[in-house]
Structure 1
Amino acid sequence: MDFPYNPFNDLINEAFGFREARRPPGRLPRGVEGFDRHSNRMLVTGTLPHTGVKTTLPLLREDEIPLMGKPYFQWSPVPIYPQTSVPFQEDILATVGRFSVTRPCHVDLLLARIWQGRTPMSNGRWKAKKLDNWRYYKCSYEYMVQIVKAFQWLNHPEVMRLMWGHLNTVADKLDQFQRAINARRTRMNVEEKVDLKALWLQFTTSVFESMVSRTHNWVHDRFMDLAKSAQASYNAAVQERGSAASYDEAVALGECHVDLLRVLERADYSIMISLSGFKTFAASPSDSKIVGSLSPLPYRQGQRDELKKAMPYPVAARIVDDLDGARKDAEAMNASLNESFEMYTKIRQQLRGERTEIAREHWINIIHSRTKWSLDHGGPQDQQWGFVAYLITRTPTQEQWEAFFSKLLGDLSQNGDGVEGFAEVKDRMALQFIDSGSSGIPHDDIEAAKQWFRNSPNMRRRNWKEDFLVIDTECFNSYMYPSPSPSPLPPTPPGPTNDTIPSHGDFGGFLKLIDIAVYPPGHVAETAPGYKHELKVLGSLVFEDLYPLLNAFIKPKELWVEAMLHPQQVYVGYSTETQAKGWEVVWKTRGVMCGALAKWVARSSAQR
């Protein structure tokens, strides 16, 4: 009897030998490994993540790129101790494994997105989850709080010390490499020399500018959308019923505004990163107010509090002694809200400076640079990017397949709304479908698909080569015969009492991502219990979320930690703690039911 992995119930664990769910032990924040590896690309392309423009500093030449993978003694005119026999690239990657820091599990994958300089959630996903509805603002609020907490964790003195220790180690490795490169250039009579440490500082600063600005802009914009929507809803109620009869709407508006403004104010002083620990960083008056020489977080909080105290709030002062009266006066309510918006903007500008708009997301820059390099070197004109997808269910008719693809392509077309730069590559995103009939893969045989994927050359140049997708009977049915959301499950996000939808946007058609990596014995059981080398992924997240995470060297098993809590064990992106607790109800209930069934089976067997 095959039950899904249940992370919460002892009965089913005992009956069927499942282990208790545990989050992976602390190590480097997700995304740092990809940060280090993609920095090597920057040494060649010179593209700065926050602007998308090319650095003015000298870069590596094309004939020097292969030297990254060769031991120093094979090419360096000068000895590089103690790394003479170790290639630069291998030496850099080894530093990743030595950087270990415990981090909160609930912000783990959120940190991966932040570190990549990505928007925390696309506009399409935000709307699909109904987080743009101000009446669900408490769940929106929780998402924003988690983002602020992630930056507060990054700003913790011990985390900063460990992070800068790691980045400075990389700087030292670059210094060794540049000495060898410049010595080689001298021998070849090349006058231009490289300063890779300066390039590393510029790249790191650019990454942090992208992280900080894009994330804060996103939080600010979501706040303004919700706050203005709430205010418009209140004014519509006043227009219909009058101010006095709209008292309850005024109370709800005030609570929404105060809660969201509180988290936005925390974001103002938290979503920053100091460069003070970087060896080659020197503070100057022209430094950014959000990335550079910064005071510790508690001092920044105090600075913001002082700025707020110094601001005049004449409307608030006038109504503070009669809040009930103000709630029955639409003019007073709107004046107070508008004053709050105005004063907040002034404080934010003093604390953070003018808003910075960030260029396209860095993973999209990487797609562009890979495409250009391939075309420049005689690659195929078909430069689509995406995944190989095997159709391994053989039961659907041609008519059913057509209906399935209509639904699937509708989901895929939703990818990328509000993701900066996505429109530039959207027309080239694709799934390369391979039919099991033509490939000889038996019905729903994932192991056979793995063998075919490893051995088959039928892949586009730009497809992701580490993992692949399958559409088996379960995936097909998820689109054609969607099951209702499981019960019991509290409404998430929390909505009106008559809202019976358990979880907006988190149930729908999915595909399966197949992981072909080989892990050390016991590694999966230790870090991702219940993981079976496959991951169900919501179709609307395949390109905008899954692809960039994998591109940052995050393994599918690391995404399983989020998926295993979902009632159908589907990866639906980042979830909040409250949402996860709602999902736990389902698993606890299932555990009791399955445990009772297991005991009944055991008793029946004993009586035979």
Structure 2
Amino acid sequence: MALRLSRSLLQANRRLCGALPLLTLSTVGHIVTRHNGGQHIQQWKYRPRVAQSNFTRYSHTDSANVNEPAIKFSVHTEQHWKSQTLPIVDRLIEPQTVGHFLEYTTHGALPNGKQTTLPLLSPDEIQLLLIPSAEWAPAPFNTNTVSTIHQTSVRIGSYEDDARLSIIGKNIHSLKNRLWEGLAPLSASRWTEKDLSNPDRFDTACEYVTAVIAVFEYLNFEQIQSSMRDTFNLISGHLQDADSALNARRAAQGQGQPQLSLTGLWEEFMRAKYEMITAAAHSWVLSRIAELQRPLLDEFSHLPDGQKIDMFTERWQQLLEITSEADFKIWIPMDGYYGYHPSSQVVPGLRNPNLDTLRKTHRDRFQTTIFSRLEQYIQNQDPDTIQSPRVRRERISISTTVQDELRTEIRGPSSPSESYSEPWIQMLLWLQKATLESGPNREFGLAVYRSTSSTVTDEQWRTMRQKLETHLSAWGADNNLQTSQIKPLLKLHWIDDDANIHDTQAAKNHFLENRHSDTYKNKLHPSIFLAVDTWSYTSYMDPKNLHPFTNHHQKSQPSLLPGDFTPHILAIDADFDPTCPPERPDESPNYPGHLRILGNLVWSELYAMLVLQSATLEDLWPLAMEHPLKVYTGVTVPSQRGVWIERNIQTRELLKPFLESVREKREYDAAVKHMEEFMMPFVPGRTDT
């Protein structure tokens, strides 16, 4: 039954959306209704967050203007709030959530890995939500001339309803967007690749951790909480109207079907969503802090008396404070959400949704408990062994033990993260299962074009291809078993030998002509493709020369992370038109229509966000545009971006005489043209850095 419903949902989506990738109803945006012979034809259409003409208006409204001093940030998150360089208009409940909720109403799999026990919708009823109830509901519920999905999508944040939009910096918004869909800020393997457990990179590592806390400081700001709650409740009201209409229709059919509760499904879905978001983020923070604590503890245990004690004490205290902030800040309270009933275990003080009360209570309890434990421990120790490595380790570890105990009181017992995988993997496995009866295992793929110089030999190309495929598959080693299930379904479709394509424009033309052909239909993502150009080829065949500053400055510049200069590939936006004015010039300045991305992030980040429809290449561009090679490396932090900008300024100055000379002499060969295009921000006279 579940497979039949899922298949029907996919078929309905094909009728509504055409041949779209992934065939889900989770396309971000709103419903556009057109009239054709008296029939409503509705299709999903992506709507940009805010057009430039509306940006200034939004930034001056009370509802959309979040002033920095109003946010209660800590000394550990201050650098994130001080580094907001790009203002982003944030629809607080991410727009793709409506589509994901629709999917859930048919298969019942909650974001936290559990299964609902509430009655689900049939495929026919899903389609009715896309049509005004005036066309299908029995009287007196046939008065609504706007579809339920249009109403709910508008409430998320649109031109029709902008009352609850917010302005936030790109650095915080981009991470909030990832956490919303359960994507880790940084995988454990990427953490290692960036060498963030190295004591020399301690401050940068802490920035990655505190970036997550800054997101929840934002989400727990009173005005933001209020806007999210009001958005949820407005959507709940529209779903309640749909409940009445659908249940009246079921009663009229007289088949003894159970009563539907879309409002109950909505509350359960969002409660599970918040649980997944907070549990995944909190677990990631604690794991990374544990990695930073282990070498500190080892060093302190064997440290001769009086040496580096101050440095150890300062860093250990910093990690304890960050852990405490994570424990009482990383959550999203649902007080006031329609249908939500708080747990009876919430008691005054600890486990209190009021952060100010919680902060004070937590601090008092921690200090009282740890002093008592330390005093008791020291009294029971033999004075001759008080400075032994074992006793030192046990003594300093009392602080983490006390934090673990308080965490249970604040947050309750932790749920095992192994019970569910990242949502994008769940989604693909569900789609593959839903289509299993109609044919072979489903594939999810990306086209890859060869657009290198013709001087590359076939043997060199085969070597590079093998290296690239190995790099692209190097993800998910720290994930759960479902990763191994999805990896065989992720396919690269090489278009190299037979197409005779040697530049990216030719690749784009070929892709646009063939993406919906029988050869590639339902196998490729239709809006994004990959290309191996000369820079990508060189990054795999000669990775030591990825950037001239890397080898010389990594030790003297701890923020210049080695994992940010690994081989990369070019991802191209097939539908980007350089002749059209950009819709979001302030949010993604100078977006060129393509993005360089590290090979091992293609599936786990780029494709994951395309599946979840939470971000596009244009959304990711601001995270890459300050990189010395304009490469997307994932989440960035202030110190990391600072050293990039510094290096870019140096590069610009070094290149200025050369490029001016070349321009004057008009000696442009293909290599120089390519270099000037690549070094666009460094060309003298340009202001688009």
TM class by shorter chain equals 0.7 to 0.9
Deviation at 1:402? 2.2
CA-to-aligned-CA distance 1:117-143 (integer Å, 9 cap, x gap): 232221111111112334432221111
Q: Match of 2:424?
A: 363
Secondary structure in structure 2 of the residue aligned to 1:527: coil
- Greater shift after overlay, 133-142 or 534-543? 133-142
Change (3 A) 1:67 1:156: same
Over 3 Å counting, the alpha-carbon distance change for 1:233 and 1:177 in structure 2 is same
Q: Whole-Å Cα distance in 2 between the matches of residues 412 and 256 of structure 1? A: 36
* Corresponding residue for residue 99 of structure 2: 37
1:501 and 1:576 mapped to 2: Cα distance? 9
Please give the alpha-carbon distance, in whole angstroms, between the structure 1 residues aligned to 2:244 and 2:501. Answer: 53
**Alignment-derived partner of residue 271 in structure 1:** 330
Q: Is the 8 A contact 1:124 1:414 kept in 2?
A: no
Query: Following the alignment from structure 1 to structure 2, what is the Cα–Cα distance between the partners of residues 390 and 604?
Result: 34
Greater relative contact order structure (CA < 8 Å, 6+ sep): 1
| Conserved 8 A contact 1:404-1:479 | yes
Q: What displacement does 1:288 show? A: 11
Within-5 A mapping of 1:328-477: 330=389, 333-358=392-417, 359-376=420-437, 378=438, 380-393=439-452, 395=454, 396-420=456-480, 422-439=482-499, 441=501, 443-444=503-504, 445-459=506-520, 461=522, 463-477=524-538
How far 1:159 moved relative to its partner? 0.7
Q: Does 1:215 align with 2:281?
A: yes
- Cα deviation digits, residues 82-113 of structure 1 (max 9, x gap): 742x3333333333324511123211211111
Structure 2: gaps (5+ residues): 1-83, 379-383, 667-689
CA distance in 2, matches of 1:206, 1:158: 23
1:506 is aligned to 564
Give how far 1:455 is off. 4.4
For residues 198-225 of structure 1, give each alpha carbon's deviation from its aligned partner in whole angstroms, at most 9, with x where no partner exists. Answer: 1110000001111111111111122122
Q: In structure 1, what is the equivalent of residue 137 of structure 2? A: 76
Q: Given residue 362 of structure 2, which amino acid in structure 1 is its aligned partner?
A: R
Q: Quick one: which amino acid aligns to residue 41 of structure 1?
A: E
Please tell me whether residue 46 in structure 1 is matched to residue 97 in structure 2.
no
Gaps of 5+ in 1: 1-20
Question: 1:411 corresponds to which letter in structure 2?
Answer: H
RMSD: 3.3
Instruction: Please report how far the alpha carbon of residue 331 of structure 1 lies from its aligned counterpart in structure 2 after TM superposition.
Output: 5.4
Alignment-derived partner of residue 311 in structure 1: 369
The reply on whether 1:109 has 2:174 as its aligned counterpart is yes
Inter-CA distance 601–381: structure 2 relative to 1 (3 Å threshold):
closer
Q: How far did 1:575 drift?
A: 0.8
- The 8 Å contact of residues 320 and 400 in structure 2, kept in 1 or not, is answered as no
Structure 1 pair 146/437, CA: closer, same or farther in 2 (3 Å)?
Answer: same
Deviation at 1:72, TM superposition (A): 2.6
Compare 401-410 and 422-431 and name the one that shifted more. 422-431
CA contact (8 A) 1:326 1:332 kept: yes
Of 613, 638, 642, which residue of structure 2 is paired with 1:577? 638
Query: In the alignment, is residue 198 of structure 1 matched against residue 261 of structure 2?
Result: no
Say if 1:306 and 1:447 are closer, same or farther in 2 by CA, change over 3 A. same
Q: Which residue pairs with 1:88 in the alignment?
A: 148
How far apart in 2 are the matches of 1:424 and 1:277? Answer: 41
Superposed CA deviations along residues 168-199 of structure 1, whole A, max 9, x for unmatched, are 22212222222222121111113312101011
Letter of the 2:324 partner, please give it: E
Q: Secondary structure at the match of 2:449?
A: strand
Deviation at 1:481, TM superposition (A): 2.3
Tell me by how many angstroms 1:417 deviates: 2.5
Cα deviation per residue 1:5-43 (whole Å; 9 max; x = unaligned)? xxxxxxxxxxxxxxxx972532325x7112222111111
Aligned mates of 2:514, 2:307 — CA distance in 1? 60
- TM-score, normalised via structure 1 length: 0.84
How far residue 296 of structure 1 moved from its aligned partner, in angstroms, is 2.3
Secondary structure of 2:562's counterpart equals coil
Alignment-derived partner of residue 88 in structure 2: 25
Question: Whole-Å Cα distance in 2 between the matches of residues 491 and 226 of structure 1?
Answer: 26
Q: Is 2:133–2:143's contact at 8 Å kept on the other side of the alignment?
A: no
1:232-259 residue CA offsets vs partner (Å, 9 max, x unmatched):
3444x55xxxx34xx4354443333222
Q: Distance in 1 between matches of 2:348 and 2:102?
A: 28
Q: CA deviation at 1:282?
A: 2.6
Q: 2:591 is paired with a residue of what secondary structure? A: coil
Deviates more, 1:128-137 or 1:356-365: 128-137
* Contact 1:152–1:270 (8 Å) recurs in 2: yes
Q: Contact between 1:171 and 1:200, CA under 8 Å: does it hold in 2? A: yes
Q: Corresponding residue for 1:13? A: none
Matched, 1:527 2:587: yes
1:171 to 236, 253, 267: 236
Aligned-partner residue type, residue 292 of structure 2: L
Q: CA deviation at 1:490?
A: 11
Counterpart residue type for residue 493 of structure 2? F
Number of the residue aligned with 1:231: 297
Q: Is the 8 A contact 2:531 2:570 kept in 1?
A: yes
Residue of structure 1 equivalent to 2:653: 592
Contact 2:516 2:526 survives alignment (8 Å): no
> Letter of the aligned partner of 2:569 in structure 1?
L
- Asked if the contact 1:95/1:169 (under 8 Å) is kept, the reply is yes
1:119 aligns with 2:184: yes
Residue in 1 aligned with 2:203? 138
Q: Distance in 1 between matches of 2:329 and 2:291?
A: 21
User: Residue 187 of structure 1: which of 229, 235, 252 is its match?
Assistant: 252
Aligned to 1:550: 610
CA contact (8 A) 1:514 1:534 kept: yes
Distance in structure 2 (CA, Å) of the matches to 1:509 and 1:131 = 19
Match of 1:248 in 2: 307
Q: Which range moved further: 514-523 or 401-410?
A: 514-523
Aligned residues of 1:250 and 1:328 also touching (Cα < 8 A): no
Asked whether 1:159 is paired with 2:224, we answer yes
1:496-542 C-alpha deviation (Å, 9 max, x unpaired)? 65x78932201121122211345863325343222111111100111
Q: Distance in 2 between matches of 1:312 and 1:470?
A: 57
Aligned twin of 2:670: none
Q: How does 1:274-289 map to 2 (within 5 A)?
A: 274-286=333-345
In 2, the alpha carbon distance for the partners of 1:271 and 1:446 equals 45
Q: Distance in 2 between matches of 1:190 and 1:391?
A: 58
TM norm structure 2: 0.75
- Structure 1 residue 483, shift from structure 2 partner: 5.2
Letter in 2 for 1:229: P
The separation in 2 between residues aligned to 1:294 and 1:371, in whole angstroms, is 42
Asked if the contact 1:389–1:471 (Cα under 8 Å) also holds between the matched residues in 2, the reply is yes
Between 1:570-579 and 1:529-538, the stretch displaced more is 529-538
Code of the residue aligned with 1:220 in structure 2: it is L
Residue identity opposite 1:511 in structure 2? I
Question: SS of the counterpart of 1:33?
Answer: coil
Deviation (angstroms), 1:469: 1.7
Determine helix, strand or coil for the equivalent of 1:112. Answer: helix
Gap change, CA 1:449 and 1:126, over 3 Å in 2: farther
What amino acid maps onto 1:521 in structure 2? Answer: P
Q: 1:55 to 1:528 in 2, by over 3 A?
A: same
* Amino acid corresponding to residue 230 of structure 2 in structure 1: G
For the residue of structure 2 that corresponds to 1:349, the secondary structure is helix
Return the offset for 1:564: 0.3
